[in-house]
Amino acid sequence: MSGPAPPRSVRGLTLALALCAGAASAQSADAAGPSPRWGAIAVQQQLFGYAFDQPTRAAAEQAARAQCAAAVAKARTSKGGAACEVRTAFNRQCAALAFGNFGEWGAASAPTREQAAREATHQCNEHLPTEPCKVAVQVCSAAP
């Protein structure tokens, strides 16, 4: 009768399991999709601020409002202390803001800069300015 079998080396098995676990971890990260990349445009009168490539919508909106507030403070044109308002927020897209000559505005997000600009201009022109609306800013967050 023989005794218990001598212990076998499991180093190769451990390495194989570690490699499989790493591959599974990478696949689960891919399955979760790309990380969010938020952006936003905030406006007060015809002054604005924007943000892009932020991890959350709230962070993008906060950064856009802060940049807008800085532009307002620099211009010193604030009437009645009105706060900057977020006009559009977007995730892994582009956005544009257009103004008319009497305060009309349009804001839109779309997969490309050109589409966002067209839509923002169209929205602004729907308010019937006396002159065609013009794009003030276009911004994109990271592409998918």
Handedness of CA 140, 40, 128, 83 (dihedral sign): negative
Q: What is the pLDDT of residue 28?
A: 41
Give the amino acid at 116. Answer: A
Q: Are 102 and 129 in contact (CB under 8 A)?
A: yes
97 is written with which tokens? 């803001």
104 domain-assigned:
yes
Q: What is the pLDDT of residue 24?
A: 41
13 domain-assigned:
no
For 11-56, write each residue's pLDDT tens digit. 433 333 333 444 444 444 445 678 899 999 999 989 999 999 999 9
* Confidence bin at 7 (pLDDT 50/70/90): very low
Structural domain count, the chain: 1
DSSP string, 48-71: EEEEEEESSHHHHHHHHHHHHHHH
50 domain-assigned:
yes
69 domain-assigned:
yes
8 domain-assigned:
no
Q: What is the pLDDT of residue 143?
A: 67
CB neighbour list of residue 83: distance below 8 Å, 6 or more residues apart: 44, 65, 69
Structural domain boundaries enclosing 94: 38-140
100 domain-assigned:
yes
52 domain-assigned:
yes
For 54-111, write each residue's pLDDT tens digit. 999 999 999 999 999 999 999 886 555 678 999 999 999 999 999 999 989 999 999 9
Residue 101 φ then ψ, to 5°: -80, -10
21 domain-assigned:
no
Higher pLDDT: 4 or 45? It is 45
